[in-house]
Amino acid sequence: MEVPKQLLTHFLILILCTDLLCMSIRQIQAESVTPEEAKLLRDEVRGMFYHAFDGYMDHAFPRDELKPLSCGGEDTLGGYALTLIDSLDSLALMGDFEHFTTSVEWIGKNLRFDIIAYLQNKTVSVFETTIRILGGLLSAHLIASDYATGMRIPSYDDELLHLAEDLARRLLPAFDTPTGIPYGSVNLLYGVDENESKITSTAGGGTLTLEFGVLSRLTDDPIFEQVTKNSVLGLWARRSRINLVGAHINVFTGEWTQKDAGIGTSIDSFYEYLLKAYLLFGDEEYLYIFQEAYAAAMHYLYNDPWYVEVNMNSAALVWPLFNSLQAFWPGLQVLAGDIDPAIRTHTAFFSVWKRYGFTPEGFNLATFSVQQGQRSYPLRPELIESTYWLYKATRDSRYLDAGRDMVASLQYGARCTCGYCHISDVEFHKQEDHMESFFLAETVKYLWLLFDLAAGSDNLVENGPYKYVFSTEGHLLPATPQISLVKEHCSYIGAFCPRSNFGHEPPTFDIPMESQEPNATKTFLDTTSLLGHSYVHKSSSVSGVIKGLCPGLSHSQKYGISYVASHSTTLSDERVDQSESTVVQSHSVVLLSDSSAINTPDDLQNDTEPSSSKGDGEPFRG
């Protein structure tokens, strides 16, 4: 492996320096990533992908995951080639048509959930199976079946869609509970075992809507969308009076069995899917819930720049802990248009990465040290994901520098014989013989997207025929007219919907506001004032992520991140087209946290008066 010299120097600085003095030395020594270096880094990341992917194919396939130190395989989620399925859209994204085709064809011919269910009598996690397998199959199906992606496979005949539908139907029995919140696990042949635990996590019940919703819209069977929305409503109905949710709930009684509220472990993607379900499907109920949930999180959990865990009823501090799953949050804030806190939080989280070369699963904010028992780094993507979103929104080269640090850490600390290894202890960098499938679905994908964007962005996400929403497993879900139900929304709104948007022609994006019908413009302006922003539209090219399918489509116009504004940005990359790069936070999809809007109830359920997680005192001093 050829290692760029600058990367090597950077890594040496990274491992030798752990204190403030060294941070300033590092700042002096490290030059910012140039566009040329971004290309090299993108290629470096591509090499990382293939080291891990080839290792998996050579030593583990068709088992679920690679054991990268011993060069073997292990079944971790049902025994159906998990890593291959989780990697499909990464292959397509990087333009590897050959591997994408052979992989899709192999899965289409060989994977049969009925046979696996019958022979192996498997009980699987509803959450993991949905986000990794169902999401992987659906995103690959949507790429392989569509000429507009440039990756249409001629021989492909919806095999992956049929597999996804079969699998989802096998998960449906899990939703048969009094609350609508599904059991955590289900047997693929028999349904839910009578001894199955009735306790599940909030993320487990709240992170299914994208995959199941897409399936409903592709199969014209509403059941998948209905049960998963019902689950979200079931969780939200049991929120506390201060709009927080706990971590674990009994799916029969609806009682919270773990009342710690936070944005990380066990809850994280509940928030993520509220916003993304709205963005992808245009269902405003999700937006409404997201606004309420987000405002409460920012009021009670945010301790600028960190996030804590508090009791969901009293808001009393429970854990002054950064856990690595929280690191997706700045990326979500970019989508929501709340960039300033995202920048500060990312800086704080990244300081933990810089200190150890990786983020530990838990970092104690009272002692500012690694939390005992949470010392590992299992190749998680969250901080990298947020780095990508913040770079995309700001084009600030500090995010490329952060990405370069992360590549250096992975290359020197985690790369091992046949792939990339988990780090069992971030202080000693000991490698462990596991490689989670999300390393290829997310970790490497977001790094590649980051540097590809800096190098000129020639990929499906940036330049493809649709705007994409990323699932929590990093799978690409396109806002096609069929998925976003453009027709339905347009007829509902009675707005400007040219016929050509519904034919075989690809939809037009980035329609200049000036060229839209007056009623469409009005919708946009109404929206921004509704959200309380003083933003005045000036740009000739307002590009919301899914905007343009139908100018009258209200949710598309409210899509939070706009990459275009005629003001306010630092630009480090002069090659980037001016209209694309001068962006950022000009308008937002959410009504941003307004603490005065949250009433602090006098009579909180069970618990004591809410303690403010901000302002009064310093909860982290221990």
- Answer yes or no: 128 catalytic: yes
Dihedral sign from CA coordinates of 437, 440, 442, 443: positive
Q: Which is nearer to ligand DMJ, 146 or 260 (CB)?
A: 260
Joined tokens for residue 583: 């962006």
10 touching ligand DMJ, by CB under 6 A: no
From 187-195, 310-318, 378-386, 604-612, span contacting ligand DMJ (CB under 6 A): 378-386
Q: Which of 11, 473, 549, 550 binds ligand DMJ (CB under 6 A)?
A: 473
445 touching ligand DMJ, by CB under 6 A: no
- Answer yes or no: 268 catalytic: yes
**What is the C-alpha separation between 417 and 378, in angstroms, rounded?**
17
**What is the C-alpha separation between 106 and 93, in angstroms, rounded?**
19
**Exposure of 162 by Cβ count < 10 A (0-12 exposed, 13-18 middle, 19+ buried)?**
middle
Backbone angles phi, psi at 476, to 5 degrees: -85, 120
- The footprint of ligand DMJ on this chain (CB under 6 A) covers a number of residues equal to 10
Q: Catalytic residue, from 159, 361, 401, 442: name it.
A: 361
From 65-73, 251-259, 377-385, 386-394, span contacting ligand DMJ (CB under 6 A): 377-385
**Residue 52 Cβ, how far from ligand DMJ at the closest point, in Å?**
15
392 touching ligand DMJ, by CB under 6 A: no
Residue nearest to ligand DMJ (CB): 472
- Answer yes or no: 221 catalytic: no
**Residue 15 Cβ, how far from ligand DMJ at the closest point, in Å?**
23
Q: Catalytic residue, from 86, 211, 268, 442: name it.
A: 268
353 in Cβ contact with 605 (< 8 Å): no
Q: Which of 68, 180, 341, 381 binds ligand DMJ (CB under 6 A)?
A: 381
- Answer yes or no: 220 catalytic: no
Q: How many CB atoms lie within 10 A of CB 599?
A: 9
**What is the C-alpha separation between 278 and 589, in angstroms, rounded?**
10
Return all residues near 10 (Cβ < 8 A) that are at least 6 apart.
30, 404, 405, 408
Alpha carbon 126 to its chain's center: 18
From 57-65, 288-296, 379-387, 579-587, span contacting ligand DMJ (CB under 6 A): 379-387
Q: Catalytic residue, from 128, 165, 260, 405: name it.
A: 128
Nearest to 341 by CA among 381, 388, 273, 294: 294
Q: Which is nearer to ligand DMJ, 156 or 377 (CB)?
A: 377
User: Residues 425-444 vs ligand DMJ: string with x where CB under 6 A?
Assistant: -------------x---x--
472 touching ligand DMJ, by CB under 6 A: yes
**Residue 491 Cβ, how far from ligand DMJ at the closest point, in Å?**
35
Q: Which is nearer to ligand DMJ, 234 or 381 (CB)?
A: 381
User: Residues 307-326 vs ligand DMJ: string with x where CB under 6 A?
Assistant: ------------------x-
- Strand (E) or helix (H) holding 310: strand 309-311
Query: Omega of the bond prior to 330 within 30 degrees of 0, cis?
Result: no
Query: Omega of the bond prior to 62 within 30 degrees of 0, cis?
Result: yes
Q: CA separation (Å) from 188 to 158, 166, 170, 221, 222?
A: 22, 10, 5, 20, 21
269 touching ligand DMJ, by CB under 6 A: yes
**What is the C-alpha separation between 535 and 588, in angstroms, rounded?**
9
Residues that bind ligand DMJ (CB under 6 A): 131, 269, 325, 380-382, 438, 442, 472-473
Active site residues: 128, 268, 361, 382
